Structure 1
């Protein structure tokens, strides 16, 4: 690749991204999130994604821009440009989705894209996924964009190597689990939520989504330091997990925010009972290095299908329910 064809400004931006990637250490999920955001910006795209291979499917494991709400989406590798990229092992460009038979037109229309570039992620001589940039405009991308993406794909592939070199776990596990708590991350939450939603629609079943936000994490960090804050997050994750059924899912969505899929909840009473058990578990005494720390959380929920059958609607209602609980607790002086 001739780097001289890429402007000095773009090369400087890529070097800056490389520095940011190194600063993420072994956190593969954070690395992928950062790379999608930066590649979207550098190529002036409308969105970007990192898709990892799992069996014969591609999973949207990190997303930004117009692809953001499709985090966790699974696509069959057949009849898709990403699948073709993996098959041939070289970057591919499509500047007119509607006239390109290699692409999954329905998926592209769903996302709202009309042009894209897909570059393979090569790890230990195997293609483990792709990085993709998306534009709502036809004809948006050029050869310089491909060169930039090739440089970026090298960064994330190297980061994958570093993340795996010091761990025995598999790449996909590293990409889908939170490095602090060990529970599943945002990508897995949306993946499983989409699967449960599809199953519930087919079988006319109910299930619940629970939105949980820790209260007082800033005060814990301020009073006892970030090590105490991290210990509190880990303890809350452990306590939530201890109350759930094996078929349920708890994921750390970011910071002090958790999402729970209650797969077998049939009505509001089921969800309220589960929330009460979670709350009772969280507020039990917790000590960190001989310091007594109070743990609390605001918890809200949404019930499929009473509160909606659309993923975004359910998430929004669960979040609104949680924030309403947080407001009430602040009004009662219960939030530390």
Structure 2
């Protein structure tokens, strides 16, 4: 591929991304998140996404910018630019959505995009998904942006190759699970949340979302080192998982932040009782390499129907509830 037309600034940015990708190790989920964030910036786009093929659907497994709120969304491959890209295995560009019959106009309007580039993700000679950049402006992209996407998609494909050497199921697992804790990641959390919301709406059931944020992780890292910090995150994930039912979902959303879906709940007292149990389990004594480490977390919640019926609203309510707890705890610490 001729890279001469790509500006030196963009090439330097891509090299920086390569370094960052190398630092992620074997964490495919983090690599996809990183690439979508950096690709959006390098192409001056409004959003970017990685969509993987699962059961003849395309699933948003990483997203940034205007695409981020669609994380976990499942789309039919038929009658879409992504589907055509997968079929013919070459990058495609659409700079005017409204006049392009290849695209799913309804889906594009829902996202708010007017131009995009779709790049096939090819691993072991199989197309496993697409890398896509999006813009709200028509005519935003050019051939240089396609070259940038080719380089960026290669970073993802290299990690996919390592996963697919062990079979396609390993690729799915690595794309949807956190490498440090082994629990589901942000992508699978939103995927499961969309499914749960759809099911609850049809069956007129209720469910709960818990937002949990570790307290004091920075102090653990500063005082005992990042190995201790990683051990603390793993231990908190384990304690949460052991407290929940099999039908519930716990996900590491990033850093020291966890999201929990409580599949079935009758009233708010149930979720309040569960939060007390989680707090009790998390704050039990924890020792790492002979050092006693205090584990704490701020926990908030939201209930489907009672607090809202849309994903964004429920997440916001749960987060606000959690941050309220965190502020109260910090206030008590300052008083002491």
Q: If the TM-score is normalised by the length of the shorter chain, which range does it land in? A: over 0.9
**2:295 corresponds to which residue?**
295
Q: CA deviation at 1:4?
A: 2.3
**2:158 corresponds to which residue?**
158
Counterpart Cα distance in 2 of 1:335 and 1:296: 18
Q: CA deviation at 1:104?
A: 1.7
Counterpart Cα distance in 1 of 2:215 and 2:9: 43
Q: CA deviation at 1:200?
A: 1.4
Matched, 1:203 2:180: no
Gaps of 5+ in 2: none
**1:97 corresponds to which residue?**
97
CA contact (8 A) 1:178 1:252 kept: yes
CA contact (8 A) 1:231 1:288 kept: yes
1:50 alignment partner, SS class: strand
Matched, 1:257 2:257: yes
**1:83 corresponds to which residue?**
83
1:38-73 CA distances to partner (integer Å, 9 max, x unpaired)?
Answer: 111111111100111111111111111111111111
CA contact (8 A) 1:206 1:266 kept: yes
Query: What's the TM-score, normalizing by structure 1?
Result: 0.95
Q: CA deviation at 1:245?
A: 1.0
Matched, 1:63 2:52: no
CA contact (8 A) 1:27 1:163 kept: no
**1:123 corresponds to which residue?**
123
Aligned length: 336
**2:268 corresponds to which residue?**
268
Query: What's the TM-score, normalizing by structure 2?
Result: 0.95
CA contact (8 A) 1:18 1:155 kept: yes
Q: CA deviation at 1:199?
A: 1.4
CA contact (8 A) 2:163 2:170 kept: no
CA contact (8 A) 2:28 2:175 kept: yes
1:65-124 CA distances to partner (integer Å, 9 max, x unpaired)?
Answer: 111111111111112211111111111111111222221222111111011000000001
**1:242 corresponds to which residue?**
242
Q: CA deviation at 1:5?
A: 3.0
CA contact (8 A) 1:300 1:320 kept: yes
Counterpart Cα distance in 2 of 1:152 and 1:46: 17
Gaps of 5+ in 1: none
Which shows bigger deviation, 249-258 or 136-145?
136-145
Matched, 1:328 2:322: no
The 1:107–1:27 alpha-carbon spacing in structure 2 relative to 1, beyond 3 Å, is same
Q: CA deviation at 1:335?
A: 11
The 1:106–1:196 alpha-carbon spacing in structure 2 relative to 1, beyond 3 Å, is same
The 1:39–1:208 alpha-carbon spacing in structure 2 relative to 1, beyond 3 Å, is same
Counterpart Cα distance in 1 of 2:246 and 2:136: 41
Which shows bigger deviation, 114-123 or 200-209?
200-209
Cα RMSD for the two superposed structures: 1.9
